[in-house]
C-alpha cells in the first residue's frame, strides 16, 4: 500500500511537471486537452454472480470503503463493480489510458455507437504481446470532443500482498503512466531480484553437489532452506518484472496459498540445519532437545496457517492469527540463537553472526514499513532482507568450509592415532612373542633342569633305600622337596605374570606386599612400602612386571634368611625421568668384596638390566640396600 501511494504521488508530480513542459499532453493553442471523472460509484458482488446486463439495472450505492473491505476478505469468488463516468471537456480528440491497480483482473464494459465492447485488463490478461508489468493494467481510451462515456468495471484481485483491498482508478495520457512505470530505485530493486534469485540458484546447485559428495545431513537441510527461500522470493520477481504465458495463474495461486506459510517454514529448515551444523546433540544435548521442539512447533504453525488460508471463512480476521504465528516464530528464533551461543565453539560464531544479521535486517524492514519511512529512506524493505540473506549465505558457506577443513584435520588426527595404536599393537605383539620365547626358555632351563634333578634324586633315593641307607635317603627326599617347592613358586610367578588380570602396576605391588608380609611375619620383621602415586599410572609390560617381582622376592627372601633384620622398607620414587626402586633392611649386612655373587644376586642384576642400566647393592653393618631404576 505504501509503495503504491509513492507511485501515485510521483505520478501526479510528474503529470503536473509534464503539463508545464508540454510533452505529456496535447495542446490546442494555449488550451490543454482535459479529461475528468464525473462520477465513480460501486456495487458489491460477493459471490461473483452478476453480469453486465445485471449491473446496468442495479443501484450502485456501496461506498468505496465497503468495496475495499470486500476485496480485503481474500475470497476468490468476490468481486466489485465500478461505474465510471468520464468526459472530454476539450474540443479535441482525447487519446489516453485508464490505469487499474496492480495484481488485479478487470473487465471493462462500455458501449460505442450502440455496440457493447468488453476488454479484459490486468494480472491474468491472456495473449499478452508485451512483457512490461505496468502495460498490463492500461486500458487505451479515445474520446471525441465533449464526449461522455460510462465504463462498467468488474474488479477481481488475485494477489493479496500487493495493493490488497485497494480500489484506485486514474485516467491520463500514456506518457503519464510511462513516467511511473519505474519509480525511483525500482530498477535497482529489479536488478537485486535478478542477482538474488540467481545467487540462490547457484547456491542450490553448489550445496546439492556438496551434499552428494560428503553425504552429511546438514547439507540436506541447507538445500531445503534455500529452496524455501527461493519459493518465497522468486514469484515476487516474476510477478513484478516478467510475463510467461500460462504461468501467471500458477504463480498467483501459489503466492495466495503459500506466501504466509513461507514466512514460517524456512525457520524449520534453518534450525534443523544449524542443529546438525553445530553438532548440538554432542555439545549441548539439552538445548538440542529444546530447539527440536521449536522445529516441531514451526511445522505446526505452518499447518495452522495453511488451514487458516484454506478452511477458515474469509470474513474472519485471518491476518491476526497469521501475524501471531509469525511473531511466535520470531521469538522462538531468538531463543534458538541463545541456544547456539551456549555451544561456545568456533562454528557457533558463524551461526550466531548470520542469525543476528538476518534478524536485524528483518527488524529494519519492519520499521520502514510500520513507521512509513519511505519518504526518508529510498530502500525497499524486501531489498534489506535480500541483502541480509546474501550475507547470511556467505557466512554459512564460510562455516561449512571451516567445518569441512576441521573435519579433514580431525580425520587426519584420528588416522594418526589409529596408526599409532596399530604400531603399539604390533610392538606389543612382538613383545609378547619375545615374552613367550623367554617363558619357553625359562621353562626349559629352570623348570626342566629342576625336574631333571628331581628325577635324578628320586632314582638315587630309591637306590639308597634299597641298600638300607636311610640317612642318605632322607637327604635326597629333602632335596626333592626343596626343588619341588622352587618349581612350584616359579610356576606360580609365571602363571601370575601371564594372567591379563594382573597387568596393572597395582596388582604387582599387591603381590609383592603379600609375599613380603607372609615371609617376614614369622620372623617378627616389620615391612613398609612407600610408593609414589604416579607409579600406579606407569605402564609396565609382562617381562618388566615379572622381573620386578622376582628381584623383590629374591631380596626379601635373602633378608629373611640371612640379614636377621627387624625392619625392611620398599620405596619407589621419581628419579629424573625414571622411577627408582629401593629395598633396604637394618640387618647385619655382608661384605660385598669378600662375598662372591651367588645365583640369587646374579639373577637380580640380570633382571635389573632388563629394566634399566642402573643396578646397585650397598651393604654394611647397618644393613643392606638394593637400588635399580625402572624406565
Above 70 in pLDDT, residue 3?
A: no
Class of residue 19 by CB neighbours under 10 A (exposed 0-12, middle 13-18, buried 19+): middle
- Quick one: DSSP state of residue 25? S
Q: pLDDT (tens digit, 9 = 90+) per residue, 439-466?
A: 666 665 556 556 666 666 676 777 777 7
- Quick one: DSSP state of residue 371? T
599/362: higher pLDDT: 362
pLDDT at 607: 84
Least Cα distance to 123 among 161, 158, 82 occurs for 158
Contacts of 471 (CB under 8 A, 6+ apart): none
CA atoms of 501 and 498, how far apart (whole Å): 9
273/315: higher pLDDT: 273
Pairing, β 138-143 against β 115-122: unpaired
Q: How confident is the model at residue 477 (pLDDT cuts 50, 70, 90)?
A: confident
**Long-range residue pairs from 216-219, CB within 8 A, at least 24 positions apart, any chain:** 216/276, 217/276, 218/273, 218/276, 218/277, 218/400, 219/400
Least Cα distance to 162 among 255, 257, 73 occurs for 255
pLDDT at 470: 72
Roughly what angle, to the nearest 10 degrees, separates helices 470-498 and 381-442?
A: 170
Per cent of the chain over pLDDT 90 is 5
Which CATH fold would you assign to the domain 502-631? Heat Shock Protein 90 (3.30.565)
Pairing, β 567-575 against β 526-531: parallel
Domain boundaries, the chain: 2-178, 186-402, 502-631
In the numeric block, the cell 524492514 is attached to: 365
Q: pLDDT (tens digit, 9 = 90+) per residue, 504-555?
A: 888 888 888 888 888 787 777 888 899 888 988 888 887 888 888 888 888 8
Query: Under a CB-based contact definition with an 8 Å cutoff, are residues 237 and 198 in contact?
Result: no
Strand spans (E) along 158-308: 170-172
pLDDT at 593: 66
Strand spans (E) along 90-235: 94-99, 104-112, 115-122, 138-143, 148-157, 170-172
Domain 2-178 is in which class?
mainly beta
Domain 186-402 is in which class?
mainly alpha
Query: Under a CB-based contact definition with an 8 Å cutoff, are residues 130 and 136 in contact?
Result: yes
Q: How confident is the model at residue 162 (pLDDT cuts 50, 70, 90)?
A: very low
Residue 229: phi and psi, rounded to 5, are -65, -45
CA atoms of 24 and 42, how far apart (whole Å): 30
Above 70 in pLDDT, residue 271?
A: yes
CA atoms of 517 and 521, how far apart (whole Å): 6
CA 587 to chain centre: 72
Q: pLDDT (tens digit, 9 = 90+) per residue, 188-226?
A: 677 787 888 888 888 888 888 888 887 888 889 989 999
Amino acid at each position: 500500500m505504501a509503495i503504491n501511494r509513492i507511485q501515485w504521488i510521483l505520478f501526479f508530480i510528474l503529470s503536473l511537471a509534464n503539463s508545464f513542459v508540454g510533452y505529456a499532453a496535447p495542446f490546442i493553442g494555449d488550451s490543454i486537452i482535459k479529461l475528468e471523472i464525473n462520477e465513480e460509484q460501486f456495487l458489491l458482488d460477493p459471490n461473483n454472480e452478476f453480469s453486465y446486463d445485471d449491473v446496468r439495472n442495479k443501484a450502485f450505492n456501496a461506498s468505496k470503503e465497503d468495496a475495499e473491505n470486500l476485496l480485503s476478505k481474500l475470497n476468490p469468488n468476490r468481486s466489485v463493480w465500478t461505474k465510471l463516468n468520464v468526459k472530454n471537456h476539450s474540443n479535441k480528440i482525447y487519446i489516453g489510458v485508464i490505469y487499474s491497480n496492480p495484481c488485479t483482473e478487470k473487465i471493462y464494459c462500455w458501449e460505442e455507437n450502440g455496440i457493447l465492447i468488453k476488454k479484459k485488463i490486468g494480472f491474468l490478461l491472456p495473449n499478452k504481446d508485451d512483457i512490461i508489468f505496468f502495460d498490463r493494467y492500461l486500458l487505451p481510451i479515445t474520446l471525441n470532443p465533449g464526449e461522455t462515456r460510462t465504463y462498467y468495471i468488474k474488479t477481481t484481485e488475485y494477489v493479496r500482498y500487493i495493493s490488497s483491498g485497494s480500489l484506485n482508478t486514474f485516467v491520463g495520457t500514456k506518457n503519464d503512466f510511462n513516467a511511473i512505470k519505474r519509480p525511483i530505485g525500482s530498477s535497482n530493486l529489479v536488478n537485486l531480484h535478478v542477482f538474488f534469485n540467481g545467487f540462490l540458484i547457484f547456491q542450490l546447485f553448489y550445496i546439492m553437489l556438496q551434499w552428494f559428495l560428503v553425504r552429511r545431513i546438514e547439507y540436506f537441510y541447507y538445500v531445503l532452506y534455500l529452496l524455501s527461500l527461493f519459493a518465497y522470493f522468486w514469484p515476487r520477481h516474476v510477478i513484478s518484472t516478467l510475463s510467461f504465458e500460462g504461468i501467471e495463474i500458477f504463480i498467483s495461486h501459489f503466492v495466495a496459498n503459500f506466501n504466509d506459510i513461507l514466512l514460517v517454514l524456512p525457520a524449520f529448515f534453518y534450525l534443523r540445519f544449524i542443529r546438525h551444523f553445530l553438532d548440538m546433540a554432542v555439545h549441548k544435548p539439552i538445548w538440542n532437545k529444546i530447539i527440536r521442539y521449536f522445529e516441531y512447533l514451526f511445522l505446526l504453525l505452518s499447518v495452522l496457517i495453511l488451514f487458516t488460508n484454506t478452511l477458515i471463512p474469509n470474513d474472519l480476521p485471518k491476518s491476526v492469527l497469521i501475524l501471531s504465528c509469525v511473531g511466535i516464530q520470531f521469538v522462538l528464533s531468538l531463543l534458538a540463537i541463545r541456544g547456539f551461543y551456549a555451544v561456545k565453539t568456533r562454528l557457533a560464531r558463524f551461526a550466531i553472526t548470520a542469525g543476528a544479521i538476518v534478524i536485524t535486517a528483518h527488524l529494519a524492514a519492519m520499521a520502514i514499513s510500520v513507521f512509513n519511512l519511505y519518504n526518508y529512506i529510498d530502500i525497499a524493505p524486501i531489498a534489506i532482507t535480500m541483502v541480509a540473506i546474501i550475507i547470511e549465505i556467505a557466512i554459512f558457506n564460510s562455516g561449512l568450509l571451516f567445518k569441512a577443513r576441521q573435519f579433514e584435520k580431525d580425520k587426519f588426527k584420528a588416522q594418526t592415532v589409529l596408526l599409532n595404536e596399530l604400531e603399539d599393537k604390533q610392538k606389543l605383539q612382538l613383545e609378547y612373542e619375545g615374552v613367550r620365547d623367554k617363558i619357553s626358555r625359562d621353562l626349559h632351563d629352570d623348570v626342566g633342569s629342576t625336574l631333571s634333578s628331581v628325577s635324578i634324586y628320586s632314582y638315587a633315593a630309591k637306590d639308597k633305600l634299597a641298600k638300607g641307607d636311610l640317612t642318605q635317603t632322607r637327604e635326597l627326599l629333602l632335596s626333592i622337596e626343596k626343588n619341588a617347592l622352587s618349581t612350584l613358586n616359579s610356576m606360580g610367578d609365571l602363571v601370575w605374570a601371564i594372567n591379563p588380570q594382573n597387568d596393572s602396576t597395582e596388582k604387582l605391588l599387591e603381590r609383592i606386599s603379600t609375599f613380603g608380609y607372609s615371609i617376614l611375619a614369622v620372623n617378627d620383621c616389620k615391612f613398609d612400602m612407600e610408593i609414589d602415586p604416579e607409579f600406579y599410572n606407569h605402564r609396565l609390560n609382562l617381562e618388566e612386571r615379572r622381573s620386578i617381582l622376582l628381584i623383590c622376592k629374591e631380596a626379601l627372601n635373602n633378608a629373611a634368611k640371612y640379614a636377621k633384620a627387624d625392619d625392611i622398607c620398599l620405596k619407589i620414587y621419581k628419579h629424573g625421568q625414571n622411577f627408582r626402586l629401593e629395598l633396604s633392611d637394618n640387618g647385619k649386612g655382608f661384605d660385598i668384596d669378600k662375598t662372591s655373587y651367588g645365583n640369587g644376586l646374579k639373577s637380580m642384576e640380570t633382571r635389573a638390566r632388563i629394566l634399566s642400566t642402573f643396578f646397585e647393592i650397598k651393604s654394611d653393618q647397618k644393613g643392606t640396600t638394593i637400588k635399580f631404576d625402572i624406565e
